[in-house]
Amino acid sequence: MSGGGAYEASGVSIERGEHAARMMRTAVERTHGPRVLGGTGGFAGLYDLSGYREPVLASTVDGVGTKVLVARTVGRYRSLGADVVNHCANDVLTVGARPLLFLDYLGTGRLEPEAAAEVVGAMAEACAALGVALVGGETAEMPGLYAAGDFEIVGMCVGACERGEVVTGEGVRPGDAVIGLASSGLHTNGYTLARRVVEEAGLSYDDTPEGLDRPLGEVYLEPHRPYLREVEALRSEVEVRGMAHITGGGLPGNLPRALGGFGVELDPSSWEEPPVFGFIRDRGGIPEEEMRRVFNLGVGFCAVVPARQAERAVGVVREAGCAAWHIGTVVGERGVRFVST
């Protein structure tokens, strides 16, 4: 038996990998601008940083978690590509950097070239929408490590800004306003609990429970929202002292990272909560404290601004196309407290 035949007999197909790469190449190369040096297929991607005086790089890595299991059940994978790009780009934004380049990892037990190309094609579309270059990635077929039908998606994003533009939260002061930017739903967090609620309720992802206007599969696969346009507009108009991407851990777990050691009081009645969270809370019997620690509850990103600029900040975000609210105030005592006004 030839070496290639033995490898394929063991579960890995070089031909499937090469076919998938060919299907992805055009979509990937469309994200390349003049700053990307060389073409695809090399061992590393090159990006030109000329034009920065004192460049600082910002980097992040994350995945889409068990949202992949919802996609597998529904048979729709495309939204996962946007999810991983937007999630990572939002993380880079929080420190004041602009996302510039993106790399992906897709691991599976048996590579399906069409599905892989669909996901990477969606990544490329999301990158192109943000002006981010998809400069490389890895598609790995690993039977034995991943069971049949299993797959994993991870993304890595690198951004840059001038040293003087870095946002650390050090300028935050008690009395500052916290502006909440609307999420599109679950984003990419809390899916282990969200899936369990569906299973224990005896529902399928084709069902449309009371309170929702679409089948659960569509609601659960709603893509993670990007905030680049809103954040750039916000920083051009007001002083932004801190920013937080509200991911796993919810507001209590993420907002303190943007507060420079201070605390915050939030009014949960000040923002609109998407119906999916009411479904999970009610059908799952989930206590409010746990809902707040697991899900974003409708606030996907936060910016801390001086109180005198709060109204303008909300207006700028809304003009950029995203719902926003003044959701809280920075206080001297550490912690995140939910209060009613």
80 and 204 inside one domain: no
Q: Is residue 92 part of a domain?
A: yes
216 and 259 inside one domain: yes
Q: Is residue 171 part of a domain?
A: no
318 and 182 inside one domain: yes
Closest CA to 199 of 34, 25, 73, 112: 73
Q: Please report the pLDDT score of residue 69 as a whole number.
A: 94
157 and 208 inside one domain: no
Confidence of residue 39 (pLDDT cuts 50, 70, 90): low
Give the H or E element holding residue 293: helix 288-294
Last residue in a domain, options 102, 132, 165: 165
159 and 182 inside one domain: no
> Which pair of structure tokens corresponds to residue 210?
């009371």
Q: Is residue 145 part of a domain?
A: yes
Last residue in a domain, options 118, 138, 165: 165
Summarize the confidence of residues 39-62 as an average pLDDT.
Answer: 83
16 and 104 inside one domain: yes
196 and 334 inside one domain: yes
Q: Is residue 35 part of a domain?
A: yes
Last residue in a domain, options 108, 132, 165: 165
Between CA 277 and CA 246 the distance in angstroms is 15
Q: Is residue 245 part of a domain?
A: yes
Q: Is residue 170 part of a domain?
A: no
**CATH code of 96's domain:** 3.30.1330.10
pLDDT at 326 over 90: yes
Q: Which of 40-44, 221-225, 331-335 has the lowest mean pLDDT?
A: 40-44
Read off the pLDDT of residues 150-162 as tens digits, 9 standing for 90 and up. Answer: 888 999 999 999 9
Residue pair 67/220 in contact by the 8 Å Cβ criterion: yes
pLDDT at 168 over 60: yes
Read off the pLDDT of residues 182-198 as tens digits, 9 standing for 90 and up. Answer: 999 999 999 999 999 99
**CATH code of 307's domain:** 3.90.650.10
129 and 269 inside one domain: no
146 and 222 inside one domain: no
What residues pair up with 47 in beta bridges, in sequence order? 36
- Neighbouring C-beta atoms of residue 339, cutoff 10 Å: 11
81 and 108 inside one domain: yes
Confidence of residue 12 (pLDDT cuts 50, 70, 90): very low
Q: Is residue 40 part of a domain?
A: yes
Residue pair 204/294 in contact by the 8 Å Cβ criterion: no
Give the domain extent around 86: 3-165
300 and 204 inside one domain: yes
Number of structural domains the chain divides into: 2
Count CA atoms closer than 13 A to 307's CA, side-chain side: 8
Q: Please report the pLDDT score of residue 290 as a whole number.
A: 97
Between CA 232 and CA 221 the distance in angstroms is 27
45 and 73 inside one domain: yes
Q: Is residue 73 part of a domain?
A: yes
Read off the pLDDT of residues 91-131 as tens digits, 9 standing for 90 and up. Answer: 999 999 999 999 999 888 887 777 788 888 899 999 999 99
